Amino acid sequence: MLINTDEISAIDQELNTKQPKQIIKYALDKFDNIAISFSGAEDVVLIDLALKAKKDIHVFSLDTGRLHPETYAFIETVRKHYNIDIELVSPKAELLEPFVKEKGLFSFFEDGHTECCGVRKIEPLKRKLSTAQAWITGQRKDQSPGTRQSIPVFQQDTAFKGIDEALYKFNPLANWSSEDVWNYIKMFDVPYNPLHQTGFISIGCQPCTRPVLPNQHEREGRWWWENEGGKECGLHATNIISKS
């Protein structure tokens, strides 16, 4: 399915005033082959919302091999709670082994997280998305002061290619705040990662995530040794591209 730029704008504009639940329903109706990306954090609400719209959904997570033990346990909790499959995409041994042999397990603290994210997140994601027409993410405008302020609800994903070459991306939570997400979690008794009970807001790989102090922005808990404002792992590369 190919959607031209004008149509994309029109769809985005229309969905932009809708609730996440309606956006997800639209997405699941429009594309047969659409995957929901689940990070092991508060984007669990995507799964909860999607299952209210459709029984048979397709969920995947990136298992970088460096997630917190609590996150692995939480992914299993979600799998059992909703009785769904969760596809865990893993890095390729043939890329990971030479990288780690040369640079060790914590090179990101020395020369930045791009190389490690490339092997552990981007290659597996690319591989995964190449089998789909579209994907659904938990991105929100309020998550990152530098890179996520103008996230659309619907867009073409120019950073990756799908099964039909073009790939589309829905961000149903774009206009929700962190508070909206947590109100939803509490109201509907959605299971959540227990790390959220120990000061973690944003959750990614274990060595690259830390709890934040009261009143700190959640993004201060990610890649804190690097510059402010451009903290993206590359999953959502269009955010960075669109800024230039």
Nearer to a copy of itself, 154 or 176 (CB): 176
Give the C-alpha separation, 92 to 90, whole Å.
6
Nearer to a copy of itself, 12 or 123 (CB): 123
In the complex, minimum distance from the CB of residue 206 to a copy of itself, in angstroms, rounded to a whole number: 5
Q: Which of 117, 205, 208, 233 is catalytic?
A: 233
Alpha-carbon distances of 123 from 89, 158, 161, 166, 226, rounded to whole Å: 10, 15, 12, 18, 22
Catalog residues that contact a copy of itself under the rule CB under 8 A: 42, 63, 65-66, 68-69, 72-73, 75-76, 79-80, 85-93, 96-97, 100-101, 104-106, 124, 178-179, 182-183, 186, 192, 196-201, 206-207, 211, 213-216, 218
C-beta of residue 167 within 8 angstroms of C-beta of residue 132: yes
Give the C-alpha separation, 68 to 165, whole Å.
34
Give the C-alpha separation, 208 to 221, whole Å.
8
In the complex, minimum distance from the CB of residue 182 to a copy of itself, in angstroms, rounded to a whole number: 4
205 classed as catalytic? no
Closest to 46 measured CA to CA, from 213, 223, 184, 236: 184
Nearer to a copy of itself, 25 or 219 (CB): 219
In the complex, minimum distance from the CB of residue 87 to a copy of itself, in angstroms, rounded to a whole number: 5
| Catalytic residue ranges | 233
